[in-house]
Amino acid sequence: MGDVLTINFKVMLMDGTVLYDSWQEEPVQFEYGKRFDTQGLVEGVAMMKEGQMAHLIVPSSIAFGEYGRQGLIEPYSTLLYDVELLDIKTKDEIKKETIRQLAMNKKESDAFLAKNAEVEGVVVLPSGLQYKVLEKGDGTESPSASSRVKVHYKGTLIDGRAFDSSYDRGKPAEFAVNGVIKGWTEALQLMKPGDKWQLFIPSDLAYGNNPRPGGIIEPNMALIFEVELLEIVK
């Protein structure tokens, strides 16, 4: 009890329809003994050893039972699981590992920003935010903190891994300037419509110690964004 398990798993209906596949996203952690997904999955993982893979056939009585899951799983459905048990750690080990990772992320981010500050064309603001003008637009006014704006953007980690892009979605994002991370709020108030900037944002102006769960952004990570201010909506 209390061990933290890291697994990859895929859950399917009997006809092969895939409902969820963590291999397509990120491994999943859960604390053994606490409710997670289905009783059948937890019981199956409990019989596995670290590094093992298993195929589970989970009857409805230890899955979603007579209720199913509306729009996804019919009542009394048997489920199929492919499971890989990647890692078993105690909560103390997880805590120590997290502390080490936080320190490493901060060290790497600080080193990147210090080196980047010397790059030609990069402007460093008193807050620590850095930016580089990629394209200059013909707009004449900057938005205020309370303005709504329309932008295209893409975000990457300092190692180049992408985590978000409005370009990929084929649709600009619209939001209040003061409704996003601090680094964006500061930069957007300096930009004008048509401008395209590259932002280098310290973690304390991004997500700090509280990144969105389930993504590749870890605590204390600096982030890089290309932001194109398309329009001040109001």
131 is catalytic: no
**Residue 114, pLDDT score:** 98
164, 203 contact by CB (below 8 A): no
**pLDDT above 90 (res 118):** yes
Which pLDDT does position 95 carry in this prediction? 82
In CATH, the number for domain 101-233 is 3.10.50.40
Would you call 163 a catalytic residue per the annotation?
A: yes
In the annotation, is 30 catalytic? no
Residues contacting 54, CB < 8 A, separation 6+:
44, 47, 48, 81, 82, 83, 85
In this prediction, residue 107 carries a pLDDT of 96
The band of 70, judged by pLDDT with boundaries at 50, 70 and 90, is confident
Q: Which of 37, 153, 195, 201 is catalytic?
A: 153
- E strands, the chain, in order: 4-13, 18-21, 28-31, 53-58, 79-89, 122-124, 130-135, 148-157, 162-165, 173-176, 196-201, 223-232
Exposed (0-12), middle (13-18) or buried (19+): which is 12, by Cβ within 10 Å? Answer: middle
What average pLDDT does the structure give for the chain? 94
Domains 3-89 and 101-233 share a fold: yes
Catalytic residue, candidates 207, 217, 224, 232: 207
Residue 17 tokens, joined: 């329809």
Q: Where are the chain's structural domains?
A: 3-89, 101-233
Q: Which CATH number applies to 3-89?
A: 3.10.50.40
Catalytic residue, candidates 81, 112, 131, 225: 225
Q: Does the active-site annotation cover 32?
A: no
State yes or no: is 207 an active-site residue. Answer: yes
Two structure tokens written together for 163: 């985590």
Question: Higher model confidence: residue 2 or residue 72?
Answer: 72
Place of tokens 């580089």: 132
Burial annotation 95-113 (CB, 10 A radius, 16+ → b, else e): eeeeeeebeebbebbeebb
